Amino acid sequence: MLEVRNLKASYGQVQVLHDISLTVPKGKVVTLIGSNGAGKTTTMRAISGMIKPAAGQVELAGKNIAGLPSHKIAKLGLAHSPEGRKVFPTQSIMDNLLLGAFTRLSMGGGRPKGDISSDLDRALDLFPRLRERQHQLAGTLSGGEQQMLAMARALMLNPDVLLLDEPSLGLAPILVDEVFHIINRLKEQGMTMLLVEQFAAAALAIADYGYVMENGKIAVHGPAKDLQNDPKVVAAYLGGGH
């Protein structure tokens, strides 16, 4: 469904991604783990068009999307819940969710409209905390609630592929569990996902396949089960015992 080949990206003169290649098959969950600064978020941003890759291909359902602006990539069915949540603070939760469905609600938006109200219902069922607060401004939500809103907003695109960048970052432990529980439910529903996570153990437990990044390169990859037992991966990323 999502195929990244030899992706390179730079910030100014500094090359931060070196020939990243990864595959996210339809209906599977793939995780990207690695230490801070390894280039996980940059990879996500290069895939969704938030930054322009310097070279390489990104294929979404067989179509090369590398270098397209993010709004065109969204139209083609890729949703990205970005690092730092980036909810729209001055607008209500409901407005944030409707904006997630912008490509379905606007003329020439590019995505089939479908049943917006039942999708809203589904998103709010998944995140009941948001239902109670749907008329509240997003900026007044706690960090955990904002994270849930960012995920729910991404789902409103009705995406073919969902990128989740650090959904547990900065959350209280009980909310981390809730977020992973929700990711699991999305997996059961057959959602194709690329997940960047600091909690490598939890991410590998949910994922089908994993890539480990180091210094802007893919260092190791393999089925998540194998990575969980790989002594090097365990020592470097799972040793903390989250």
Partner 1 sequence: MEILLQLILSGIALGMIYAVIAFGYQSTFATSGTLNFGQGEALMLGAMFGLSLAGDVMGGPYLNYWLMIPAVLIFGALQGAVVEAVGVRPAIKTKSEFGWIMSTIALGIIFRNVAENIWGKDDMPFPSPLPTSPLHIFGANVLPMELMVVVGAFLMMILVELFNRKTIYGKAVVATASDRDAAGLMGINTRMVITFSYALSSMSAAFAGVLIAPITLTGASMGAVLGLKAFAVAIIGGLNSGMGIIVGGVLLGIAETTTGFYISTGYKDVPGLVLLLFVLAIKPSGIFGKTAIKKV
Neighbouring C-beta atoms of residue 161, cutoff 10 Å: 23
Closest approach of partner 1 to the CB of residue 137, in Å = 11
**What is the number of other CB atoms lying within 10 angstroms of the CB of residue 239?**
11
Structure tokens at 195: 């997940």
Nearest approach in angstroms of CB 86 to partner 1 is 4
Contact criterion met (CB below 8 Å) for 204 and 216: no
Is residue 54 near partner 1 by the rule CB under 8 A?
A: no
Q: How many residues bind partner 1 (CB under 8 A)?
A: 36
3-class SS of residue 210: strand
- H helices of 157-209, in order, are 173-188, 200-206
Least distance in angstroms from the C-beta of 122 to partner 1? 18
| Residue 27 C-beta: closest distance to partner 1, Å | 23
Query: Residue 137 class from Cβ within 10 Å (0-12 exposed, 13-18 middle, 19+ buried)?
Result: middle
- Name beta bridge partners: 20: 7
Sites for partner 1 among residues 128-167 (CB under 8 A): 139, 143, 146, 153-154, 157
69's tokens: 């602006």
Closer of 171 and 236 to partner 1 (Cβ): 171
Question: Which amino acid belongs to residue 35?
Answer: S
Among 26, 52, 63, 71, binds partner 1 (CB under 8 A): 71
Query: Using the rule CB under 8 A, which residue among 8, 18, 86, 242 binds partner 1?
Result: 86
Based on CB atoms, which residue is closest to partner 1, 143 or 240? Answer: 143
Q: Does 61 bind partner 1 (CB under 8 A)?
A: no
Rule CB under 8 A: choose which of 39, 56, 100, 210 binds partner 1. Answer: 100
Our finding on whether 11 is near partner 1 (CB under 8 A) is: no
Contact with partner 1 (CB under 8 A) among 75, 148, 155, 186: 75
- Phi, psi angles (nearest 5°) of residue 17: -120, 130
Q: What minimum distance in Å lies between the beta carbon of 104 and partner 1?
A: 9
CA angle 168, 170, 174 (to 5 degrees): 65
- CA-to-CA dists, residue 107 to 32, 96, 103, 112, 113, angstroms: 35, 18, 8, 11, 10
Q: For binding to partner 1 (CB under 8 A), which residues are involved?
A: 48-50, 69-71, 74-75, 79-80, 82, 84, 86-91, 95, 98-100, 102-103, 105-106, 109-111, 139, 143, 146, 153-154, 157, 170
